[in-house]
């Protein structure tokens, strides 16, 4: 039993940082795109037009019954086929994450919209707003506020899920940490470091949002 060599981490930092950038960019794109598309899905699902609500329900059910890793594979191989040209692992991962997360964010946002009293929508529409104006100006802000903690949890899960992209040759933070661990034979150091990094990021993210939420409701 030799001592731990923490210097290995310092030497690998630039490499690890490249991996972290991949993880963060995928999370950012997935949350942004997922929330946008999820909002559209939620509005469709609650729409009185049956065609819209059925289409949205079918989408959500499909994506929620498939494992993320399968969807990653699927887009990695299918998007280039559909487009007739390669799009690269990163682009196909972004598309896969957005489409996958939208199904989950959509359900969260739908629950948020349903938690807002129906009278709010009626009052907004009674004042002359269109349905979409009433949603955008009155209902969605309340729905998002109610759902922020759940959406944060979903974002954290997603941040952790980005480590799956190793299956399509991308190198996220976790993948890079494993590579360094194997290459330098420093498994304990690297996996401890990775655990600490994930913990600090996820924990501070939840603290940040909690303090953001507090003064919001007057």
Partner 1 sequence: MSAAVILAEGVEKWFGAAHVLKGCSLSVSRGEVVVICGPSGSGKSTFIKCMNGLEPFQRGRILVEGVSVGEPATDLPKLRARIGMVFQHFELYPHKSVIENITLAPMHVLKRSRGEAEDGARALLRRVGLADKDRAFPSELSGGQQQRVAIARALAMEPVAMLFDEPTSALDPEMISEVLDVIGQLAAEGMTMVVVTHEMGFARAAADRVAFMDAGRVLEDRPTAEFFENPEAGRSKMFLSKILRH
Q: Which residues within the stretch 131-190 sit at the binding site for partner 1 (CB under 8 A)?
A: 133, 137-138, 141-142, 145
* Nearest CB to partner 1, comparing residues 127 and 169: 127
CB-based contact 194:174 (threshold 8 Å): yes
Number of residues that bind partner 1 (CB under 8 A): 21
* Nearest CB to partner 1, comparing residues 122 and 208: 122
When asked if residue 130 is in the footprint of partner 1 (CB under 8 A), the reply is yes
Question: Using the rule CB under 8 A, which residue among 61, 62, 115, 127 binds partner 1?
Answer: 127
* Nearest CB to partner 1, comparing residues 23 and 39: 39
* Nearest CB to partner 1, comparing residues 82 and 217: 217
Tell the burial category of 58 from Cβ atoms under 10 Å away from its Cβ (0-12, 13-18, 19+).
exposed
Tokens of 218: 């007057």
Three-state SS at 207: helix
User: CA-to-CA distance for 35 and 148, rounded, in angstroms?
Assistant: 11
Report the nearest approach of partner 1 to the CB of residue 140 (Å): 10
CB-based contact 203:152 (threshold 8 Å): no
C-alpha distance across the termini of the chain, in Å: 59
When asked if residue 213 is in the footprint of partner 1 (CB under 8 A), the reply is no
């Amino acid at each position: 039993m030799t001592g731990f060599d923490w210097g290995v981490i310092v030497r690998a930092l630039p490499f690890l940082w490249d991996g972290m950038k991949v993880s963060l960019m995928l999370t950012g794109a997935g949350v942004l795109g997922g929330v946008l598309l999820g909002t559209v899905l939620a509005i469709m699902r609650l729409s009185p037009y049956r065609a819209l609500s059925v289409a949205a329900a079918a989408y959500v059910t499909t994506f929620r019954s498939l494992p993320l890793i399968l969807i990653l594979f699927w887009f990695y191989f299918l998007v280039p086929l559909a487009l007739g040209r390669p799009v690269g692992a990163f682009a196909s991962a972004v598309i896969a994450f957005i489409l996958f997360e939208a199904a989950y964010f959509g359900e969260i946002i739908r629950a948020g919209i349903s938690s807002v009293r129906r009278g709010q929508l009626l009052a907004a529409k009674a004042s002359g707003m269109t349905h979409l104006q009433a949603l955008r100006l009155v209902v969605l802000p309340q729905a998002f506020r109610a759902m922020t903690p759940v959406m944060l949890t979903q974002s954290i899960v997603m941040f952790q899920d980005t480590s799956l992209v190793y299956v399509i040759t991308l190198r996220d933070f976790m993948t890079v940490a494993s590579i360094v661990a194997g290459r330098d034979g420093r498994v304990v150091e690297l996996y401890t470091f990775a655990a600490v990094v994930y913990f600090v990021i996820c924990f501070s993210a939840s603290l940040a949002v909690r303090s953001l939420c507090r003064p919001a409701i007057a």
